[in-house]
Amino acid sequence: MSALIIGGGLAGAAAAIDLARAGHRALLLEREAAPHDKICGEFLSGEAVAALEALGVPPSRLGAVPIGRVELWAGQWHVAAGLPFAALSLSRRALDAAILEVAQAAGAEVRRGVGVRSLSGTIAQTSGGEVRGRHLLLASGKHDVRGQSRPPGPDEIGLKMYFRAPALHRHLAGTVRVVFFDGGYAGLQPVEGGRLNLCLLVAGAQYREAGDWPALLAQLLREPGLAALADAEQLLPRPLAISRVPYGHLAQRSDDGRWRLGDQAAVIPSFCGDGMAIALESGRLAAAMLADGADAAIFQGALLARTRRPVQLAMAALRFTRHPVGRMAALAGLAAVPGALGLLARATRVAPPPALVPA
Ligand SMILES: Cc1cc2nc3c(=O)[nH]c(=O)nc-3n(C[C@H](O)[C@H](O)[C@H](O)COP(=O)(O)OP(=O)(O)OC[C@H]3O[C@@H](n4cnc5c(N)ncnc54)[C@H](O)[C@@H]3O)c2cc1C
């Protein structure tokens, strides 16, 4: 059995590790030649941490910092609660590089700097020529490959910037702060190296009206939950950006023989901080089911059954937070009911897949 895996993010790498360890041939193609920053809030939920540890990539050994508390802000109103699981925060540059190294050490063939340009059946046309696999696992994440597109998301832009602000870093130690505002929301949390990661989603119209990043940032700094970033040093020459993320996308069963993993299968709103857990678990589930002789349609149905409820619940919460009254009502409700924030955090999690049985 040989698997061709397109994309060396968390989903593709998790599948490669488990397949290789079970004695199967896995060829992974990653278009980026070297480790790089990725747009992501970098919040690793308890499920993501457990999956990474099971794969032999413990984030705490890579310098991840602990996160045990969440704050939700809307204007000057805010609620805070302990998380119902031990979370971590780690840059994707460090994490994605480490997981690909583990995949290679496990016996998977990892080819970096090879981009897939188009797909036809299970044949990939790449920057390095044609590549075939008996099974094709599509794990290209936020980016679609020609011949395999998801419906585009709404006119929204995701942005990410690292900051250095020692006093704020100390103040936010152990905390992820989520700030909802008109037109979007932002997550702010410490990552390794004494940095803060600000990752946000904003309406395209609002970004265009602001004109550029400095003008948009000036607007954001008027939010009480972000004002303390005013004197912070920006650590990237410009923010990373992505547009039209198809939040709510859920890949249905299809008979084209392609195994869709990670963001190609399910896109949960990023404020839930569960996209990486879904990516890892989809990769592990695909490896287990492939090794077990299942076909792509059965896998996609099984993954859909696990991801549908948390994604739909998170989409409902996202719609609620888009209206000022909804945001205030949600915050008041969460503040009034002890433990409600923890329950909401739990409800948007996916269950781990069954353990992989080696061939
Ligand atoms: C603004 C924002 C904030 C987020 N914050 C969080 C968070 O805090 N916590 C969390 O858990 N999740 C978060 N997420 C979601 C999380 O980033 C994704 O769910 C997760 O990265 C999906 O993993 P993946 O392996 O499917 O894809 P990716 O991590 O995107 O990896 C895909 C890989 O495929 C490669 N690739 C793409 N196209 C090709 C091609 N044609 N050929 C070869 N290789 C290719 C890419 O280079 C990439 O390395 C956030 C998402 C956004 C947009």
Sequence letter at residue 224? P
The fourth-level CATH superfamily of domain 2-153+246-347 is FAD/NAD(P)-binding domain (3.50.50.60)
Pocket lining: 74 vs ligand 1, CB cutoff 6 Å: no
Tokens for 57? 């990539």
Average pLDDT of span 88-114? 98
Q: How many CA atoms within 13 Å lie on the side-chain side of 252?
A: 2
Q: Count the helix, strand and coil residues of the chain and give each as a percent rounded to the nearest 5.
A: 40, 30, 35
Pocket lining: 92 vs ligand 1, CB cutoff 6 Å: no
The pLDDT tens digits for 300-315 are 999 999 999 999 998 9
Pocket lining: 139 vs ligand 1, CB cutoff 6 Å: yes
Instruction: Return the pLDDT at 332.
Output: 65
Residue 349 has pLDDT above 80, yes or no: no
Instruction: Return the pLDDT at 346.
Output: 62
The pLDDT tens digits for 31-57 are 999 999 999 999 999 999 999 999 999
Pocket lining: 270 vs ligand 1, CB cutoff 6 Å: yes
Q: For residue 29, report the phi and psi dihedrals to the nearest 5 degrees.
A: -110, 125
Pocket lining: 184 vs ligand 1, CB cutoff 6 Å: no
Kind and range of the H or E run holding 307: helix 296-321
Q: What are the boundaries of each domain within the chain?
A: 2-153+246-347
Quote the CA–CA distance of 350 and 331 in Å, as a whole number: 24
Q: How far is the CA of 141 from the centre of ligand 1 (A)?
A: 5
Residue 334 has pLDDT above 70, yes or no: no
Q: What is the DSSP letter of 145?
A: B
Q: How far is the CA of 333 from the centre of ligand 1 (A)?
A: 32
Q: Which of 28, 142, 250 to mutate to test the pocket of ligand 1 (most atoms within 8 A of CB)?
A: 142
Residue 284 has pLDDT above 70, yes or no: yes
Residue 355 has pLDDT above 70, yes or no: no
Kind and range of the H or E run holding 263: none
Q: How far is the CA of 148 from the centre of ligand 1 (A)?
A: 16
Query: In the predicted model, what is the mean pLDDT of the chain?
Result: 91
Pocket lining: 46 vs ligand 1, CB cutoff 6 Å: no
Which of 132-136, 232-236, 341-345 is predicted with the least confidence, judged by mean pLDDT?
341-345
Tokens for 251? 């890949």
Residue 357 has pLDDT above 50, yes or no: no
Please state the atom number of ligand 1 nearest to the C-alpha of residue 187.
Answer: 8
Using pLDDT thresholds of 50, 70 and 90, give the confidence band for residue 321.
confident
Pocket lining: 143 vs ligand 1, CB cutoff 6 Å: yes
- pTM greater than the 0.85 cutoff: yes
353 versus 154: the higher-pLDDT residue is 154
Average pLDDT of span 253-273? 91
The pLDDT tens digits for 186-201 are 999 999 999 999 999 9
